[in-house]
Amino acid sequence: MPRESEIISRLRRAAGAGEGVLVGIGDDAAVIKGQGAKDSIFCCDLLIEGVHFRREWTAPGLLGQKALAVSLSDIAAMGGVPKYAMISIAIPGSCSPQFIDELFEGLFELAGASGVSIIGGDTSSSRDSLFIDVSVVGECESGAAVTRRGAKIGDTVYVSGSLGASAVGLSLLENGCRLDASQSRDARSTAVLKHLSPKPQLKLGGALGERRLASAMIDISDGLSTDLWHILDESDCGAVIDADAIPIADCVRSIASSSPAIDPLRLAVDGGEEYELLFTSATENHQQVLALSDSLGVAITAIGNIVSDKRLQLKLQGVLEALKPLGYQHII
C-alpha cells in the first residue's frame, strides 16, 4: 500500500513544469502566474467518511464548515487570500435531505464570513460513504506566494494559536464524547470543537503574504513535527525547537491534569488537524511579527530556529533530542 507521500513524489516527477506554473504539486497549493498584479492560487482537499470524519461524531453544519475550512487553510498557508470555491459531493442514500441542507448551510456560512464565493461543483450519489472535495481559488500579490522551500539558516520558527487540542478532541470523540448544544465551553468540548470546527488563520496568512514577512509557511494538518519536516526537507536545512516555547492549548493542559496518561507536549508536537500556521521569518522581522499578532489578535509564538545541521531537534530540559515526524502519515 503506497503512502500519500510516495504517490505525490511520483506525480511530481510525472507532472514536470507547465507554462505559468510558479508552484506545482507538493506544496499546500499551486500557484499560477497571473496576467496582472496578482498570481492565482489553487488547492483542493478531500473529506472522506470513515477516513477524515464519522457522520455520528459531528453536526452536518460543522462538517460543511470543516470541508471548506481545510482548503481555505491551504490558501492561507501560501500567504494568499481565498476568493472562490467549488464543491464536489457524493451523497449516499443514508444521508437525509436535511443533513445535506445543513451541511451546505454551514459551508455557505463560512464562505460568506471568509469573503469566498461558491461558483460551482459537482454532485453525485455514492454507494456507501459521503465524499466531499472542496477546490478553492485564491490570489496573492505577484511573486508573493509563500512556499515550503524558503526557510533560511538563522530564521525564527513561529506557530500561530496553540496546539494539541485537535488530537485530544479526536481521542475524546473516539472514546464516545459528543458535542452537546447545551454544554458549557469546558475543556473537553473546547477540544472536540477544535477538531470538528477548525478555524483557518486566513487573516494571518494573507497578512504574512502581503507584507512578505514569512520565508516559508505550511499549515499544521499532519502535526508540527511532520509539517516542520516538510519545510526543512524542501528548504534543505534543519531546526532546533524549544520544547518550553511550544504553545500548548489550555484545554489540553486542563484535561491532562486529571489524565496522567496524556502527555501535552507530545500531543502538541505530533497532533494533526490543527490548521494553525507554521512559518519561518528572518530575525530582523521579529518586531513586525509581534505587531501583526497584536493587530490581528492572533497568538504567534517563536518556538525555535532554522539551522544548517539538517536535523530536526527538540531542546527539552536543556538537552537536544531528535524530533521524528510522528504526526499523521497518510497510508493509502
Q: Which stretch binds its own copies (CB under 8 A): 9-17, 147-155, 190-198, 260-268?
A: 9-17
Site string for its own copies, 17-36 (x = CB under 8 A): xxxxx--xx-x-xx-x-xxx
Restricted to residues 215-254, the positions that interact with its own copies (CB under 8 A) are none
Q: Which of 9, 52, 282, 326 binds its own copies (CB under 8 A)?
A: 52
Inter-residue long-range contacts of 167-176, CB under 8 Å, 24+ positions, other chains counted: 167/195, 167/223, 167/267, 167/270, 167/271, 167/272, 167/273, 168/249, 168/251, 168/252, 168/255, 168/262, 168/267, 168/271, 169/193, 169/194, 169/195, 169/196, 170/195, 170/273, 173/54, 173/57
Restricted to residues 133-162, the positions that interact with its own copies (CB under 8 A) are 133, 135, 137
Least distance in angstroms from the C-beta of 35 to its own copies: 3
Q: State yes or no: residue 104 binds its own copies (CB under 8 A).
A: yes
Q: State yes or no: residue 56 binds its own copies (CB under 8 A).
A: no
Q: Which of 118, 153, 262, 296 binds its own copies (CB under 8 A)?
A: 118
252 dihedral zone (left: phi>0; alpha: psi -120 to 50; beta): alpha
* Pair 196, 169: CB distance under 8 Å: yes
Which is closer to its own copies, CB of 111 or CB of 292? 111
Task: DSSP for 224-263, please give it.
Answer: HHHHHHHHHHHHT-EEEEEGGGS-B-HHHHHHHHT-TT--
Which is closer to its own copies, CB of 42 or CB of 158? 42
Q: State yes or no: residue 290 binds its own copies (CB under 8 A).
A: no
Q: Which of 129, 254, 288, 301 binds its own copies (CB under 8 A)?
A: 129
Q: State yes or no: residue 113 binds its own copies (CB under 8 A).
A: no
Which is closer to its own copies, CB of 86 or CB of 298? 86
Give dist(CA 150, CA 155) in Å, integer. Answer: 10
- Enclosing H/E stretch for 10: helix 4-15
Least distance in angstroms from the C-beta of 12 to its own copies: 10
Q: State yes or no: residue 260 binds its own copies (CB under 8 A).
A: no
Q: State yes or no: residue 59 binds its own copies (CB under 8 A).
A: no
Give dist(CA 159, CA 280) in Å, integer. Answer: 9
Least distance in angstroms from the C-beta of 124 to its own copies: 5
Q: State yes or no: residue 75 binds its own copies (CB under 8 A).
A: no
Least distance in angstroms from the C-beta of 243 to its own copies: 32
Q: State yes or no: residue 330 binds its own copies (CB under 8 A).
A: yes
Give dist(CA 289, CA 279) in Å, integer. Answer: 11
Residue type, 43: C
Give dist(CA 209, CA 187) in Å, integer. Answer: 33
Which is closer to its own copies, CB of 29 or CB of 268? 29
Chain centroid to Cα 314, Å, comes to: 22
Least distance in angstroms from the C-beta of 109 to its own copies: 10
